[in-house]
Amino acid sequence: MLASVLIANRGEIARRIIRTARRLGVRAIAVYSEADAGAPHVREADEAVLIGPPAARDSYLVPGKILDAARRTGAAAVHPGYGFLSENADFAEAVIAAGLTWVGPPPSAIRAMGLKDAAKKLMAEAGVPVTPGYLGEDQSEDRLQREADAIGYPVLIKAVAGGGGKGMRKVDQAGDFAAALASCRREAAASFGDDRVLIEKYVTRPRHIEVQVFADRHGGAVHLFERDCSLQRRHQKVIEEAPAPGMDAATREAVCAAAVKAAQAVAYEGAGTVEFIADASEGLRADRIWFMEMNTRLQVEHPVTEMVTGQDLVEWQLRVASGEPLPLAQDQIRLDGWAMEARLYAENPVTGFLPSTGPLSHFHLPEDAVRVDTGVEEGGEVTPFYDPMIAKLIAHGPTRTAAARSLADACRQVEVWPVKTNAAFLARCLDHGDFLAGAVDTGFIEQRLEVLVPAGGPSAAAAQLAALVSVELAEDEADDASPWSPLAGLAGFRVNRAADPQVRLQCGGEVLTAPLAVADYEPEGVLVADGDIVVFEDGEAFAFSRPVAGGDGAAAGGGDGAVLSPMPGRIVTVSVAEGDAVEAGQPLVTLEAMKMEHGLVAPFAGVVAELRVAAGEQVSEGVLLARLEKAG
């Protein structure tokens, strides 16, 4: 077994690797940026090295700094985790050239699978079924347009060097192709330094099925069954599960055998995931599942495989990297029950899932019935420098329904403030009747957004709880310590009045009244922060305050035409000029933040009265980007 391992990553995956390394007696070495100086993975490692400023391009993405840290600490190996440098063949070669063990596949395998067009050609030659599309070298806009037209719409434009949903655009008609191609290329160049693309036929009812494979340097290769990652938003996985619903034994055998064949075709070693797209219009069938790509690393969703197989995949990685054979043969690997993982993101579903940054003043995750993998803790901060995923909640049960119910309950118990999260959205996905019935595909979320992200506010029970707490606060503030003090916001109370007294509160810019119940109560799920009463309800956080005297409770902003930056980022494109007439919903500027592009649109039809930014500028949160005036 390796004596020590340097983890070239951060957050929850760094902590995950540290846990296994400690159990195996392997010294764990962390690296960190200035933004992560107080992060849990730094504290939990046996040793930690500062490698640079907050931006990943100046720290976690600089191979020389990682290798220098390994040299200074005497590390025997480098584990890249996922993301960052995990699929960088040049970095893997540099690690090996430095005399260190690379905990991952050979650089040749990374290269073979790293470019989607080359990988698909290789898989076709190896007898692995591939999706119809264009993989050619001619990258001219005219050629790509012609190929898309020939394939037939809808098509999918995908970055050749892409991954994680970045550099990917669906095009429904020929007239939209040029704009989608330009946007895809920009995002691909920014994320991967390579703007080349391929074109694929878009499957109208697609399922995302992937197979966990493992291989050693002694010729052994196995699979650890499949996962279903079909619940996605903007090609980003949201909920993953193992096994895949509706997968019969014959189809499982065919797709898992194809995955092992794919790994053997590139002389693979270590952990890898072979991803397939399935046409689920007639259920899962072996002849309607095609190779999509291979991720030459551990996956974010690996815990669901661990929970249904009872295996520690990081341990497998370290043993294979140490030169040991695979821990189990194929016939020794068993499926046990069902597991589901929900990705908890720092984002606000109500604002179109825009990332949310800031301090984690209150951070509580349920840890009794589910496994929790997180890279942050209360008192920490969510910064704009890295991916907004802050935790993974993983449930295991004897059946799919049991796992889903357990995970939904856990999501409803999440309490985070003031950073917004998608916990309530996750619970709604898991509770949805179609999901519980196994009727899932990659369009599931988009087709049900109105139900999964409702416009409603807090429940009457939440408002009443806030009212009770507000009276207690008012009582503390009032000189006469009376629960009926004017400070309590009670309206029209008198002795022997039939109706309950009412408390006026403000929540989300709206004024509401809540009846005051005088019965004893325990204010659970309540936080008082900066003068607000924060009530946690089913994974959401609602902030209540007493309305400003004389105010009508209307929300400020939204109708004044000001278009503000929702978060720190870089302006990628500006689509209008001052004086331009625009329609409601028309794109104005595109902001790049947290490795994704976010389009900001006109709130109403009018004229661009002011334009404050240009392409390439860095902006802070809340900065005025443009201002519109209503026409006429």
Domains of the chain listed by start with CATH number: 4-103 (3.40.50.20), 132-201 (3.30.1490.20), 206-336 (3.30.470.20), 338-453 (3.30.470.20), 460-545 (no CATH), 562-630 (2.40.50.100)
Please state the separation of Cα 508 from the chain's center in Å: 26
pLDDT attached to residue 339: 98
More confident residue, 509 or 362: 362
**How far is 391 from 397, CA to CA, in rounded Å?**
20
- Residues 90-97, mean pLDDT to the nearest whole number: 97
pLDDT tops 80 at residue 547: no
Using CB atoms within 10 Å of the CB of residue 579, give its burial: 0 to 12 exposed, 13 to 18 middle, 19+ buried: exposed
More confident residue, 629 or 116: 629
**Lowest-confidence segment of 62-71, 158-167, 380-389 by average pLDDT:** 158-167
Q: Which positions ≥6 away from 599 have C-beta within 8 Å?
A: 587, 589, 590, 591
pLDDT tops 90 at residue 516: no
More confident residue, 29 or 280: 29
More confident residue, 152 or 597: 152
pLDDT attached to residue 352: 86
Question: What whole-number percentage of the chain has pLDDT above 70?
Answer: 91
**How far is 545 from 67, CA to CA, in rounded Å?**
52
**Lowest-confidence segment of 243-247, 500-504, 521-525, 564-568 by average pLDDT:** 521-525
- Residues 578-597, mean pLDDT to the nearest whole number: 84
pLDDT tops 90 at residue 390: yes
pLDDT attached to residue 517: 64
pLDDT attached to residue 234: 84
**Lowest-confidence segment of 139-153, 410-424, 489-503, 551-565 by average pLDDT:** 489-503
pLDDT attached to residue 478: 59
More confident residue, 556 or 448: 448
- Residues 112-116, mean pLDDT to the nearest whole number: 82
- Banded model confidence at residue 132, pLDDT cuts 50, 70, 90: confident
pLDDT tops 50 at residue 130: yes
pLDDT tops 50 at residue 549: no
- Banded model confidence at residue 477, pLDDT cuts 50, 70, 90: low
pLDDT tops 70 at residue 486: no
Task: Tell me the pTM.
Answer: 0.79
pLDDT tops 50 at residue 496: no
| Helix 423-431 × helix 400-412 angle, to 10° | 150
Q: How many residues does the chain have?
A: 632
- Residues 94-107, mean pLDDT to the nearest whole number: 97
Q: Which of 10, 185, 196, 297 is catalytic?
A: 297
More confident residue, 395 or 545: 395
**Lowest-confidence segment of 60-74, 427-441, 443-457 by average pLDDT:** 443-457
* Nearest in space to 391 (alpha carbons), one of 345, 356, 347, 426: 345
- Banded model confidence at residue 376, pLDDT cuts 50, 70, 90: very high
pLDDT tops 80 at residue 410: yes
pLDDT attached to residue 545: 85
Question: Tens digit of pLDDT for each residue in 330-352?
Answer: 999 999 999 999 999 999 998 88
pLDDT attached to residue 594: 62
- Residues 150-158, mean pLDDT to the nearest whole number: 91
Active site includes 297? yes
Count of CB atoms situated within 10 Å of the CB of 396: 22
More confident residue, 547 or 272: 272
* Nearest in space to 436 (alpha carbons), one of 463, 399, 404, 412: 404
- Banded model confidence at residue 393, pLDDT cuts 50, 70, 90: very high
pLDDT attached to residue 504: 83
Strand positions, DSSP E, 280-345: 289-295, 338-345
Structure tokens given for 627: 């201002």
pLDDT attached to residue 263: 95
- Banded model confidence at residue 503, pLDDT cuts 50, 70, 90: confident
pLDDT attached to residue 550: 38
* Integer angstrom CA distances of residue 183 from 121, 143, 146, 554, 569: 26, 17, 18, 37, 17
Question: What is the DSSP code string of 356-391?
Answer: --EE-SEEE---SSSEEEES--TT-EE-TTS-SEEE
Spatial contact of 210 and 275, defined as CB atoms under 8 Å apart: yes
**How far is 170 from 176, CA to CA, in rounded Å?**
10
pLDDT tops 60 at residue 583: yes
* Integer angstrom CA distances of residue 443 from 207, 233, 388, 551: 9, 8, 22, 43
**How far is 466 from 531, CA to CA, in rounded Å?**
12
- Residues 273-296, mean pLDDT to the nearest whole number: 90
- Residues 574-586, mean pLDDT to the nearest whole number: 91
- Residues 146-169, mean pLDDT to the nearest whole number: 87
Question: Tens digit of pLDDT for each residue in 254-268?
Answer: 999 999 999 999 999
For the chain, the average pLDDT equals 89
pLDDT attached to residue 323: 97
Strand partners, 608: 628
pLDDT attached to residue 595: 61
pLDDT tops 50 at residue 494: no
Helix (H) or strand (E) holding 65: helix 63-73
